[in-house]
Amino acid sequence: DAGITQSPRHKVTETGTPVTLRCHQTENHRYMYWYRQDPGHGLRLIHYSYGVKDTDKGEVSDGYSVSRSKTEDFLLTLESATSSQTSVYFCAISVTKGGAGTGELFFGEGSRLTVL
């Protein structure tokens, strides 16, 4: 399972409140990703990180911010949650071999967020 732990696994919150989801990995992988999964849309990349304090935007980054102060932790923050952010959020890591990416993603088990 690539040693990925997501927390919380389930959360219900109200519109306008801040929410932080945590992704923790134990295998010192450089690349980490946050996706959201919605019916009919597959998996869409929110933000990703290629090292400590190095992050970049993905396809659907509006309304989200991330931080990576340690190799093992990648945090996703919704500053002011909206109902459109109700989704299942997946953290993932990718493996490199010889410094080059293999293209394979390993996913955590997901965090289901409901915004009322």
Partner 1 sequence: QQQVKQSPQSLIVQKGGISIINCAYENTAFDYFPWYQQFPGKGPALLIAIRPDVSEKKEGRFTISFNKSAKQFSLHIMDSQPGDSATYFCAASKGSSASKIIFGSGTRLSIRP
Name the site residues for partner 1 (rule: CB under 8 A). Answer: 4, 31, 33, 40-45, 48, 56, 58, 90, 92, 94, 100-110
Task: Determine what percent of the chain falls in helix, strand and coil, rounding each to the nearest 5.
Answer: 5, 65, 35
d(CA 55, CA 32): 9
Three-state SS at 84: helix
Q: Which contacts (CB < 8 Å, 24+ apart) does range 99-104 have?
A: 101/31
State which residue, 77 or 107, has the beta carbon closest to partner 1: 107
Q: How far is the CB of 65 from partner 1 (least distance, A)?
A: 17
Q: Name the residue with tokens 């923050």.
A: 77
State which residue, 16 or 37, has the beta carbon closest to partner 1: 37
- What one-character DSSP code corresponds to residue 72? T
Q: How far is the CB of 72 from partner 1 (least distance, A)?
A: 18
State which residue, 20 or 44, has the beta carbon closest to partner 1: 44
Q: How far is the CB of 16 from partner 1 (least distance, A)?
A: 29
State which residue, 34 or 85, has the beta carbon closest to partner 1: 34
